[in-house]
């Protein structure tokens, strides 16, 4: 099989030699659209480094604020001809103010979440793409109000389908704490992320999802609904995706955020 990179280069060279500028543009557009669609697939065989900025408001009795920069590298590892292992890490850098009453400012690292998905390299005969594996929680927070102070683990999985410009599916996980500071509350939470995206021929992507969490310890839901738009561009052969979005909390815990929030992200892509 001819590597995809060589096929793309050959196509561009042929278009250039024949003076087919329109064909060249179509090849480049198709390549950008394919990359943009891969970004909608959590278990795509694509190295990416998203830097995701989030703002939320309304925490606690004095309506505290929180800004989170999630550093989220995604690294696929080829295990054999049939299987990939996809590593997805979330490293939050947080600034927050009065999220627990008049608690002042905190800035630093929050807890790291590490997911590992074993995923077939090819979709099923029905067109489903899936992955499953463990999710781990590490108490890396640099402040008492930035960390659960608990180690946690559990299962995670994702299933999706890509049909034409559409991608739709869901990602789920559940984390139980098994060690850590005894005076802190146990972690027992389910995360649900159904999503749908639409990618245009010129690599614009429109996305809608929820990132819902149910806390089984406090019996409370957090249900932010996110609407986002992103555009894939290339700078000197480096693909980069820019994203803007808004969220609304349809449900929240007693001391959680309320109303509207915002999201912006820059994702660096490294196609193989």
Q: Where exactly are the structural domains of the chain?
A: 4-270
193, 208 in Cβ contact below 8 A?
Answer: no
Residue 272 Cα to chain centre, angstroms = 20
pLDDT in tens, 224-263: 999 999 999 999 889 999 999 999 999 999 889 999 999 9
pLDDT in tens, 151-175: 999 999 999 999 999 999 999 999 9
Query: What are the backbone dihedrals phi and psi of residue 257, each rounded to the nearest 5 degrees, phi first?
Result: -70, 160
Query: Tell me, what's the pLDDT at 254?
Result: 87
Structure tokens at 247: 């969220």
Average pLDDT rounded to a whole number, residues 185-201: 97
pLDDT in tens, 86-139: 999 999 999 999 998 899 999 999 999 999 999 999 999 999 999 999 999 999
Is residue 3's pLDDT more than 80? no
Pairwise pLDDT comparison (59 vs 8), residue with the higher score? 59
Segment among 9-13, 132-136, 148-152, 200-204 with least mean pLDDT? 9-13
CATH fourth-level superfamily of 4-270: monomeric porin ompg (2.40.160.40)
Query: Tell me, what's the pLDDT at 181?
Result: 95
The residues near 30 (Cβ < 8 Å, ≥ 6 apart) are none
Distance between CA atoms of 192 and 204, rounded to whole angstroms? 25
135, 112 in Cβ contact below 8 A?
Answer: no
């Amino acid at each position: 099989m001819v590597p995809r990179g060589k096929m793309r280069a050959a196509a561009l060279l042929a278009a250039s030699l024949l003076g087919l500028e329109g064909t060249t543009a179509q090849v480049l557009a198709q390549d950008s659209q394919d990359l943009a669609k891969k970004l909608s697939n959590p278990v795509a065989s694509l190295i990416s480094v998203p830097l995701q900025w989030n703002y939320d408001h309304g925490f606690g009795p004095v309506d505290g604020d929180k800004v989170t920069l999630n550093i989220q590298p995604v690294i696929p590892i080829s295990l054999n001809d049939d299987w990939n292992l996809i590593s997805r890490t979330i490293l939050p850098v947080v600034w927050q103010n009065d999220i627990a009453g008049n608690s002042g400012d905190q800035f630093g690292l929050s807890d790291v979440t590490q997911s590992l998905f074993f995923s077939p390299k090819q979709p099923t005969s029905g067109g489903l793409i899936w992955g499953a594996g463990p999710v781990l929680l590490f108490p890396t927070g640099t402040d008492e109000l930035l960390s659960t102070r608990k180690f946690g683990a559990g299962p995670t999985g994702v299933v999706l389908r890509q049909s034409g410009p559409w991608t739709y599916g869901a990602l789920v996980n559940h984390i139980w704490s098994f060690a850590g500071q005894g005076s802190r509350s146990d972690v027992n939470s389910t995360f649900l992320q159904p999503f749908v995206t639409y990618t245009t021929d010129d690599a614009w992507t429109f996305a809608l999802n929820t990132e819902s969490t149910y806390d089984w310890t406090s019996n409370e839901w957090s249900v932010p609904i996110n609407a986002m738009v992103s555009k894939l561009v290339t700078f000197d052969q480096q693909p980069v995706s820019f994203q803007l979005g808004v969220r609304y909390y349809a449900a929240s815990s007693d001391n959680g955020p309320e109303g509207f929030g915002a999201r912006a992200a820059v994702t660096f892509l490294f196609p193989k």
